[in-house]
Amino acid sequence: MLDVDTGIDDALALLYAAASPALDLCGVTTVVGNVPAGVAARNSAAVLAHAGAHDVPVVTGAARTTSGAGPRTGPTNHGPDGLGGVPVPPGPETTGPETTGPETTGPETTGPETTGLGVADVVEAAGAGGPVTLVGLAPMTNLTALAPLADEVVVLGGELAAGDPPEFNAAHDPVATARLLAGDRSFTLYVIDVFERVSVRPEDVARLRSSSRPAARLAGELLAVRRGRLVGDAGALVLLTHPGLFRVEPRRIGLLGDRLTETPGGRWTDVVVGVDAAAAATAYVDALLGPAVPL
C-alpha cells in the first residue's frame, strides 16, 4: 500500500511496485504535497494504467495539511504537472468533488478501477487479504489515520545530517509528523540522506528508454528528467524487496522545529542509515526491464 503525492519519484515507485514480482500492490492513496492531492491521484492512475496495473485502486486523501496548507510552492524538479513534463496518457477520470480539509479521506476516487472507497477503507479492504505493509512517500497527513491499520509501516522522511530547507515530507505537515511519532505504531524511517544516494547510471537510463516494455520506457523517460537520475522514493520499495542492500539501525528520532532528525529525547526508531547504492539502483532497473526473453 502506497501513500503518495505523485511527482517524478513517486511515479518511479509506482512503476517498481507494479513490476516487482516480490510486491503485491493492493492500493494507492494520495495526499497534498508536491502537487495537489487530486493531481497526484490523476498522475498515479495514469502511471498505473501505463504499467498495466488495472486492478489497483487509487484514492484521493487529504487535500490540505493538518494546519490547512496546500501543495508546495515555487519551482521544483517535478514541475507543475508533477511528472517533469513527461507525457503520460491519462488514466480513468477522477470522480467526485475534491474536498479541502485535512481530515479528508474521500470520497474522490480515481484509478484503473473506481471503487468509491476512502483512504482508510482501502487499507482495511487490503488487510482482509493478509498482512499489509504501508509505505508513506509523501507528507504524513494521511499516515496518522492509516498507520494504525497496517501491519508494517515504512516512512520516507526526515534527515540525519541537517539540511536547508528541512526534509519536505516531514516539514510540510509537522503536526501530522508529530502525531505519527506519538502514536503506537512502530515504523522504519527511510531518511533523505539515503534517498540522495541511489542514482541510476546514464547507460541504464538509456536501456530503460529503449525497452520494449511500456513501464520500463516510462521509467527511463522519468529518470532522464529526474534530478541526478535519483530513484528517490522508489528506494523505500527496494528496501522491502532487497533488505540486504541496506543498513538499518535504531536511532532516537524527534522533531526539532519542522525538522525530523536525531535528538536525545526522541523516540527509538529503526532508521535506514546506509545503502549499497549501486546495487539498489541495479535492482530497480532489473525489475523494470524484467527477465530476459530467450532468443
CATH number of the domain that residue 32 is part of: 3.90.245.10
- What's the whole-model pTM score? 0.92
> What is the chain's pLDDT, residue by residue, as a tens digit (295 residues)?
999 999 999 999 999 999 999 999 999 999 999 999 999 999 999 999 999 998 899 999 999 999 999 999 888 899 999 999 999 998 765 432 343 333 333 334 333 333 456 899 988 888 888 999 999 999 999 999 999 999 999 999 999 998 889 999 999 999 999 999 999 999 999 999 999 999 999 999 999 999 999 999 999 999 999 999 999 999 999 999 999 999 999 999 999 999 999 999 999 999 999 999 999 999 999 999 998 655 4
Q: Give me the pLDDT at residue 128, please.
A: 87
Within-domain flag for 295: no
Within-domain flag for 112: yes
Are the CB atoms for 104 and 5 separated by under 8 Å? no
CA distance 41 to 237: 19
Within-domain flag for 294: no
* Half-sphere exposure (Cβ direction) of 5: Cα atoms closer than 13 Å: 30
Within-domain flag for 17: yes
Q: Give me the pLDDT at residue 104, please.
A: 36
Where in the sequence is the domain holding 211, given as residue range(s)? 2-289
Within-domain flag for 154: yes
Q: Give me the pLDDT at residue 116, please.
A: 53
End-to-end CA distance of the chain: 36
| 276 contact partners, CB below 8 Å, separation of at least 6 | 245, 246
Within-domain flag for 53: yes
| 239 contact partners, CB below 8 Å, separation of at least 6 | 154, 188, 190, 245, 246, 272
Within-domain flag for 47: yes
Q: Give me the pLDDT at residue 103, please.
A: 36
For residue 75, cis peptide bond before it (omega within 30 degrees of 0):
no
Q: Give the three cell numbers for residue 281.
A: 539502483
Number of domains into which the chain is organized: 1
Q: Give me the pLDDT at residue 39, please.
A: 96
Within-domain flag for 145: yes
CA distance 74 to 261: 25
CA distance 77 to 116: 32
Helix axes 8-19, 37-50, angle to 10 degrees: 40
Q: Which residue has the cell 525497452?
A: 211
